[in-house]
Structure 1
Amino acid sequence: MELIYMAGIVGWTWSAWRWADWSRFREFRASIYVVIIGDFLYNLLTKNHHLWMFLSPTFHFSHHFIQVLISLCATPFAIMLFLSHYPEKSRLKQALYLALWAGVFSLHEWIVVKLGVFKYNDGWNMWWSIVINCLAFPFVILHQKRPALAVFVFFFITLLLCLIFRVDVIHIKEP
């Protein structure tokens, strides 16, 4: 079942190779890095309290290994493809484009949950993932246009989610 991860990596890589505008890579590079850093930050902040986890029932890869593999081998290509075709002019086309990408990512997550290689913990569920997917793509666009504001918004949303899901970001030892 874990082959779905490899299929995703190959699919994003091939799609980006085929359809992304690689002449704009330097323009998109910072946003790609920010998304990767966000993935790693999630794993760091939730290392003992994962809200969602990648599973590997057949090959027994750790959640962290799969997360790093996806973050480094699929995410950059997906973001490159997303940014390459973002419609700049029409607000309606922008909204539809963002909805399409949030829908694709949400559908992929639904599939991996049904395949048994992804699970939710501690109150997280598909609805929360849909909300995050609906926020993530506008965030990438915001980062392209106003990076400082995007980083502020990212940290605010991260802190808010840590509070909602009671993720210990500060661990104080009892005497």
Structure 2
Amino acid sequence: MINSLYGLSWLAILFIWGDWRNWKRYYPTILFFTLGDFLYLYLLSDAYPMWRYVPPAADKDMGLTNTHISLSIIAIKYPATVLVYLSHFPQGKMMGKVLYHLGWVVLYVVNEIIDLHFGLIDYFNGWSLWWSAAFNAVMFFILKVHFEKPIFAWLLSAIFIIFLWNRFDVPSSVFR
């Protein structure tokens, strides 16, 4: 039930503020964004998670799991995020760009605080809300870079992944 409300909220955000008519322009960045979460879901979610979504009782009774919630986020929230975030990214002064970027980081952090408050997410292996905030700051920066310079974004992502991999001492056994 809650998962459906989140999904409907992000669909509303997409249709109200997103540049969904020009989705093809943003499609490569949507794929880039979703691939990152698919990799996390495949490699770490079961073997060495940083976080896991916890379905509330009503959703659990319907058989929903962390994987179902993650897939709905990948399918709905991430495309909506890209189509709104990039289509309204300010031009001109650096301060406006920085504040816009930080606004999106705060939005994602507030979303996660709500999830924490209602027990919809658990952290593991040293992850915390602060790490999520830092991750979101880097993620939104890299999404903008990917939209403009995809190859450079892949390089930045690889560096950031290696940093996180080492910081959280991810075992090589996650490779199946």
Instruction: Give TM-score, length-normalised by structure 1.
Output: 0.91
Residue of 86, 91, 99 corresponding to 2:89 = 86
Note the C-alpha offset of 1:171.
5.9
Q: 1:145 deviation in Å? A: 1.1
Identity across matched positions, percent: 24
Map of 2:75 onto structure 1: 72
2:162 to 155, 159, 164: 159
Q: 1:151 to 1:79 in 2, by over 3 A?
A: same
Matched residue, 2:9? 11
CA contact (8 A) 1:55 1:63 kept: yes
Q: Residue 19 of structure 2: which of 21, 28, 47 is its match?
A: 21
Aligned to 1:31: 29
Structure 1: which 4+ aligned runs deviate by more than 6 Å? none
What is the alpha-carbon distance in structure 1 between the residues aligned to residue 96 and residue 158 of structure 2?
A: 28
Name the residue aligned to 1:134.
137
Superposition CA RMSD, Å: 1.7
Tell me the equivalent position of 2:52.
53
Pairwise CA distance, 1:135 = 0.8
Encode CA deviations 1:96-129: one digit per residue, 9 max, x unaligned. Answer: 0000000000000011011001011111000000
**Unmatched tracts of structure 2, length 5 or more:** none
Asked if structure 1 preserves the Cα contact closer than 8 Å seen for 2:29 and 2:146, the reply is: yes
Call closer, same or farther: CA 1:21–1:57 in 2, change over 3 Å.
closer
Counterparts of 1:86 and 1:169 in 2: how far apart (Å)?
38
Instruction: Please list every run of 5 or more consecutive structure 1 residues that lacks an aligned counterpart in the other structure.
Output: none
Which secondary structure does the structure 2 equivalent of 1:119 belong to? Answer: strand
Aligned 8 A contact 1:24 1:84 in 2? no
CA distance in 2, matches of 1:142, 1:149: 7
Give the Cα–Cα distance (whole angstroms) in 1 for the partners of residues 120 and 17 of structure 2: 29
Q: Is the 8 A contact 2:48 2:174 kept in 1?
A: no
Shift of 1:169: 3.7
Q: Distance in 1 between matches of 2:89 and 2:16?
A: 16
Q: Could you say if the C-alpha distance between residues 114 and 171 of structure 1 is closer, same or farther in structure 2, counting changes exceeding 3 Å?
A: closer
Contact 2:41–2:67, Cα closer than 8 Å, also in 1:
yes
Look up the match of 2:40: 42
Q: Which amino acid aligns with 1:153?
A: L
Letter of the aligned partner of 1:36 in structure 2? Answer: T
Report the AA paired with residue 142 of structure 1: V
What letter is aligned with 1:75? Y
Q: CA deviation at 1:170?
A: 4.8
SS in 1 for 2:169: coil
Q: Secondary structure at the match of 2:86?
A: helix
| TM-score, reference length from structure 2 | 0.91
